[in-house]
Structure formats: structure tokens, C-alpha cells
Amino acid sequence: MSVTVVGSGNVDLVSQVERIPLPGETVLSTGFATHAGGKGNNQATAAARAGATTTFVGAFGDDDNGARLRESLTGSGVRPLVRTSDEPTGTALITVSATGENAIVVNAGANATLTDLTQEERAAIAGADLVLMQLEIPLATVVAAAEIASGRVVLNAAPAQRLPCELLTHVDLLVVNEHEAALLGGADHLLTVVPALVVTLGAKGALVRTRDTTTEVPGIAVDVVDTTGAGDTFCGALVAALDEHRPLDDAVRFASVAAALSVRRAGAVPAIPTREEIDDFHP
């Protein structure tokens, strides 16, 4: 049983503010911190902490941020299959309001150089039982990885963008939030191409759809500190549960617990719960 995550790694520069500034406005932060982040890195970390044997395929810069991300991945038990790029490690400028809302600007940096796949990367993708991807690396690489995969392909279509049919036909499970689902034409349309779909609904939980079934998985009420990375924690924990051959509805319930636990803590990677924390949580 194994999971390979192909995706981005960023260092998050996080400012706490009373409220997110409007265009042209400057606000003073009430706190500042840097954390390991990036959707690929976050999701690989979440999968490993949830118990999956996890490899991360990505690209970092030859800089302190890159070293920090490698350290963070290995510290969480992820095997980093990471190439060193001439571009700087990706960064994300994140603003978190007092109510837990966020606004994010991503600088792709090294992530944009992941334009082809090496033999070793191809082998890690082809040999995995589950391949999990997002859309913060070049789309052509996501398509190539989906074509190479022999196990199940799970795509988190974030950040929101239109997708070619050649990609969706290789996807076994699509995970989107409401905004992404709408941009891609809605759940009913998506289910004409992909066999299964999870629509995450923030605090309200998630909707699990196949062509024949709809299951509502209610949200878990927790005190919200920071929702950054909730979706990533959800996706990583979801594939870890699927890798244990849990049925999809059950895997989504497990992912909902992991994601709810993550919003109770600040930051993306620091907030991702361990398997023990997920198993011990009884709402």
C-alpha cells in the first residue's frame, strides 16, 4: 500500500490581521510566522501523518526554504523525491483574519519548473496504489502523471481552473470545493466524466457523489483558529484512508475529522493532525 503525491511545495509567510485589507488599503498585522506549505507538500504531509506510506514528487529551490521543506517532509515521515531547481522555492503570502478567513497569493518559483518527469519520478507514480495531485504545478505534468499512474488517481482541482478532458478521463476521484465545482460545470456535469466526486463544503462538511449515490457527510463543530490547509488535510487524510481500502463514504468521514482538527490550530503543516489525534477525536 502506498501513496505518491505529485505537487507543489511552498514556504507560507503568514500575517495575522484583524480583517483582510481591501484593494489599496494597508493594515497592520497582529502577528507573523513562516511555515512549510504548498498544496502538494501539505497533502503529502497529511497522508503520511494519517498513516500512509507516502512519497512526494516536487521541485524546490537551492535555498534555505527548500532545505526547510525537505526537513519538514522527512520529519513527517514522507519520502521526498524532490529535484533542486535554479528557481527559488515557491512562496505563499497568506493573510488570516481574526474570524479565520484567508487571502493567499502564491509565487510558483521552483514549482513551475516541474515540466517533465524523470525515470525515478515516473516509477514512483506508476508504482503507487494511489496518486494524489493538485493544480499548483504545470498542468501538462499533472496530465502526464495521471496517464502514467496504474493505481487510483485522486485529483484535488485547486486552485480553481478549467481542466482538459484528457486529464479528467484518467481521474478516479475528484475533490473540489463549491467554488471549484461551479467553475468546472457543476457536480452533475463532472460525473459524466469522473466516476466519483467529493465536494467539500467548509464548516458544513462534504458531499460524496457517484453516478448512483449521494451521501452527505456533516461538518464537525470545532473552534476555528485558521482554516488554511483544511482542504489539503482533507485530501491527504482521504487518500490515506482509501489506501487502507476503506469505502469512499467512510474515508470522507475520516478526512472530515482530520480537517476539522486542522482548523483548530494555526498554519497549514503545523496544524495537520497525526493518526493518533484523528483516532482519538470523538466529537
Chain positions contacting ligand ATP, by CB under 6 A:
158, 177, 200-203, 205-206, 219-220, 222, 224, 227-232, 234, 256, 259-260, 263
- Write down the least CB distance from residue 234 to ligand ATP, Å: 4
Nearer to ligand ATP, 99 or 213 (CB): 99
Kindly state the smallest distance separating residue 126's Cβ from ligand ATP, in Å: 28
Name the residue type at position 69. L
Task: Choose the catalytic residue: 12, 129, 226, 232.
Answer: 232
Q: Give me the least distance between CB of 216 and ligand ATP, in Å please.
A: 11
Question: Among 204, 213, 205, 173, which Cα is nearest to 190's?
Answer: 173
Question: In 93-106, which positions are buried (b, 16+ CB within 10 angstroms) versus exposed (e)?
Answer: ebbbbeebeeeeeb
Residue 256 CA, chain-centre distance (Å), reads 14
Q: Give the shortest CB-219-to-ligand ATP separation in angstroms.
A: 5
CA distance 102 to 207: 23
CB closest to ligand ATP, residue no: 231
Residue nearer to ligand ATP on the CB measure, 10 or 228: 228
Residue 174 or residue 263: which is nearer to ligand ATP going by CB? Answer: 263
Q: How far apart are CA 151 and CA 145, in angstroms?
A: 11
DSSP state of 100: S
Compute the distance between CA of residue 128 and CA of residue 37 in angstroms, rounded to an integer.
23
How far is residue 98's CA from residue 234's CA, in Å, rounded to a whole number? 23
Question: Which ranges in the chain belong to alpha helices (H)?
Answer: 39-49, 64-75, 119-126, 139-148, 165-168, 178-183, 187-190, 230-243, 248-263, 275-280
Q: Residue 94 or residue 125: which is nearer to ligand ATP going by CB?
A: 94
How far is the C-alpha of 7 from the C-alpha of 163, rounded, in Å? 16
Smallest distance from the beta carbon of 57 to ligand ATP, in angstroms? 21
Q: Which residue, 1 or 225, has its beta carbon nearer to ligand ATP?
A: 225
Q: Is 232 a catalytic residue?
A: yes
Interhelix angle 39-49/230-243, nearest 10 degrees: 50
The span from the CA of 254 to the CA of 236, in Å, is: 11
Nearer to ligand ATP, 166 or 247 (CB): 247
CB of 93 to ligand ATP, least distance (A): 15
Query: Which active-site residues does the annotation give?
Result: 232
